C-alpha cells in the first residue's frame, strides 16, 4: 500500500494535527512506544456535530452538570455559527473519550503504521499512515518501521450524541 496521509491532512486549511504539531517528538515517542494505540484523526472527528437542538435535549436532563454545560456551550455554538458557518460544535476530544466508553459507534482500520514528521518545515508534526511491511521494498531495511496502531476511519455521530446524552443522564 502506498503512503497515505491522515488526520488534519484531509481537512482543508490544516497542514498538521494541532496536538502533533505542538510536540511532534512526544507524538513520535507515543506512536513508537509499542502500546496498544488508536489514532483519532481530525478528518473523522470533523464528521461530528453537537447542535443547538442537541443542547435543548441536554437541557431537559436538568442535573448539576447540564445546568453548567448547556449555558457554557450555547454561546460557543452561536459563535461558531456566526464566524465559521457551522451549525454546531465539532466533538474532537469527546470522540476519544467516547471510544473508551463504547467503541461500537466507530469503524477502524487495524494495524497501520503511523510516522510523525520531525524535520523542520511546514510539515513538522504531520502524520503518515501505511500498512506494516510496506516499507520493506521501498527503503533500506535499516529504516525503523513504527509498531502498528489502529486508526479511526468513520463514526456514527447520531450514536455519539446519544452516548453523550445517556452518560449525562447518569450524572448526579
The per-residue pLDDT string of the chain (172 residues; one tens digit each, 9 = 90 and over) reads 333 444 444 666 677 778 888 999 999 999 888 888 888 888 899 999 999 999 999 999 999 999 999 999 999 999 999 999 999 999 999 999 999 999 999 999 877 788 889 999 988 998 887 776 666 665 555 556 677 888 899 999 999 999 999 999 998 7
Q: Which domain holds residue 11?
A: 4-48+90-169
62 within some domain: no
85 within some domain: no
Give the span between the Cα atoms of 1 and 83, in whole angstroms: 40
75 within some domain: no
CATH number of the domain to which 9 belongs = 3.90.245.10
* Rg (the chain; Cα; Å): 19
Q: How many domains does the chain have?
A: 1
Q: pTM for this one?
A: 0.82
68 within some domain: no
Report CA-CA distances (Å) from 169 to 44, 58, 62, 96.
Answer: 26, 9, 9, 20
Strand ordering across the sheet containing 148-155 = 4-5, 127-130, 106-116, 148-155, 38-39
115 within some domain: yes
Q: What angle do CA 40, 46, 49 make, to 5 degrees?
A: 115
137 within some domain: yes
Amino acid at each position: 500500500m502506498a503512503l497515505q496521509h491522515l488526520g488534519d491532512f484531509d481537512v482543508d486549511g490544516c497542514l498538521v494535527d494541532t496536538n502533533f504539531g505542538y510536540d511532534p517528538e512526544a507524538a513520535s515517542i507515543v506512536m513508537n512506544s509499542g502500546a496498544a494505540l488508536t489514532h483519532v484523526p481530525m478528518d473523522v472527528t470533523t464528521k461530528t456535530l453537537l447542535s443547538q437542538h442537541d443542547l435543548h435535549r441536554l437541557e431537559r436532563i436538568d442535573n448539576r452538570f447540564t445546568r453548567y454545560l448547556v449555558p457554557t456551550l450555547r454561546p460557543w455554538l452561536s459563535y461558531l455559527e456566526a464566524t465559521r458557518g457551522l451549525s454546531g460544535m465539532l466533538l474532537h476530544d469527546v470522540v476519544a473519550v467516547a471510544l473508551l466508553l463504547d467503541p461500537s459507534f466507530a469503524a477502524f482500520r487495524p494495524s497501520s503504521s503511523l510516522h510523525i514528521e520531525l524535520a523542520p518545515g511546514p510539515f513538522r508534526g504531520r502524520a503518515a499512515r501505511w500498512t506494516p511491511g510496506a516499507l520493506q521494498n521501498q527503503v533500506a531495511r535499516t529504516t525503523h518501521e513504527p509498531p502498528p496502531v489502529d486508526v479511526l476511519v468513520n463514526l456514527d455521530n447520531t450514536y455519539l450524541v446519544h452516548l453523550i446524552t445517556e452518560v449525562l443522564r447518569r450524572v448526579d
